[in-house]
Amino acid sequence: MQNVLVTGGAGFIGANFVRWLLRERPSVKIVTLDALTYAGRRENVPEHNRNIFVHGDIRDRALVEKLLREHAVDTLVHFAAESHVDRSILGPEAFVQTNIVGTFQLLEAARATGVKRFHHVSTDEVFGSLGPNDPAFTETTPYDPRSPYSASKAASDHLVRAYVHTFGLPATISNCTNNYGPFQFPEKLIPLMIANARAGKPLPVYGDGKQVRDWLYVEDHCEALVAVVEKGRVGETYNIGGGVQPTNLEVVQRLCAILDELEPERRHAELIKFVTDRPGHDRRYAMNIEKIERELGWRPRFGLEQGLRLTVRWYLDNAAWVKSIQETGDFQKWMNRNYEKRGEVKQ
């Protein structure tokens, strides 16, 4: 990995990944390509002499090919996506455009220019939903996506695999569980709850709050991705996860307890409000991460409590970043659209 193109580097995980590379791989040069959609923030991309920012769309194949050639890119790490399940329910088209068509255009550009490694960042949601006693997803669990978001990610995973088998593209795929940490857009569960709790606003828990997610601190995800890019076998898929599976309600309660310590004037858990569930809401995700542990020696370093504390601290220290997003018309429109029709559900 010498010259890396990072797509979606102005979003949550991409921005953390660019920072990680700049810090830990001192000879790597980066080109960050991002369309700056509602989720992409120019200020998330660090100013650095080894990082060039390009404002552009992954569907623009000519642009991508030009960047790959001009910067002699050997490694492409693909994060750019529409990533929010609730938005995919209210407006699926952008998901098909970016996640499927965009990935296709990147694959074509990579094939034409001969990159040495194409790494595709994907999600555990492609595997569908688990019952309470089902074993965790492995790399060979059949795909069973259930939301427009996960269906579009599944489609892109299939395209990447097809390019490996048909054209010999040197690609790898990773499927990761829910991430949390600095720079996560404040419409997602954890940053939304932190922001609302601090403002004394209701904490909207969907349904009964007993849905289970496997949470991974974003820094751990970045390390896992580097392990796959540097040591993973071409054509292989690696599952990545945190190995901790609390219910949504437990996560929100933990956040409230941490905030109670830091801001004792309010009992934050009193703000919890159960609201109408998400349609088709996946009940449980859990990841078996034995393969990446065994083959690449990666395992998560941050426990949930430690990661949540670091995350709360970051959001407290970066309240201006959150506020600047909350003040945009798009954010306010989204909050109204997603929450105004969700009535309170008594438990």
What residues make contact with ligand TYD under the rule CB under 6 A? Answer: 84-85, 178, 188-189, 192, 204-206, 211, 213, 248, 278
Q: Which is nearer to ligand NAD, 204 or 242 (CB)?
A: 242
Q: Residue by residue, what is the 3-state secondary structure of 126-186?
A: HHCCCCCCCCCECCCCCCCCCCHHHHHHHHHHHHHHHHHHHHCCCEEEEEECEEECCCCCC
- Provide the 3-class DSSP secondary structure of residue 227: helix
> Which CB, 139 or 282, lies closer to ligand TYD?
282
In the complex, what is the shortest distance from the CB of residue 60 to ligand NAD, in angstroms, rounded to a whole number? 8
Q: Is 187 among the residues known to form the active site?
A: no
Token pair listed for 250: 């437990």
CB of 96 to ligand TYD, least distance (A): 18
Whether 124 is catalytic is yes
Complex with ligand TYD: residue 85 or 115, whichever CB lies closer: 85
Q: Binding segment for ligand NAD among 175-183, 287-295, 296-304, 335-343 (CB under 6 A)?
A: 175-183
- Nearest approach in angstroms of CB 136 to ligand NAD is 15
- Please say whether the beta carbons of 285 and 137 come within 8 A: yes
Residues between 56 and 115 with contacts to ligand NAD, criterion CB under 6 A: 57-59, 79-83, 98, 102
Task: State CA 100 to chain mean position distance.
Answer: 16
Total site size for ligand NAD, rule CB under 6 A? 30
35, 109, 244, 258: which one binds ligand NAD (CB under 6 A) = 35
- Beta strands at 75-78 and 3-7: parallel, antiparallel or unpaired: parallel
In angstroms, what is the minimal distance from the CB of 12 to ligand TYD?
A: 10
Q: Of 82, 76, 69, which is closest to residue 107 (Cα–Cα)?
A: 76
Q: What is the DSSP letter of 238?
A: E
- Tell me, rounded to whole angstroms, the distance of Cα 345 from its chain centroid: 29
Minimum separation from the CB atom of position 85 to ligand TYD (A) = 4
Specify the amino acid at residue 252: V
How far is the first Cα of the chain from the last one, in angstroms, to the nearest whole number? 52
Of residues 118-147, which lie at the interface with ligand NAD (CB under 6 A)?
Answer: 121, 123
Number of Cβ within 10 Å of residue 267's Cβ equals: 11
CA–CA separation, 62 vs 54, rounded Å? Answer: 14
182 near ligand NAD (CB under 6 A): no
Residue 339 annotated as catalytic: no
| Catalytic residue numbers, as ranges | 124-125, 149
Give contact residues for ligand NAD (rule: CB under 6 A). 7-8, 10-14, 34-37, 39-40, 57-59, 79-83, 98, 102, 121, 123, 153, 176, 178-179, 185
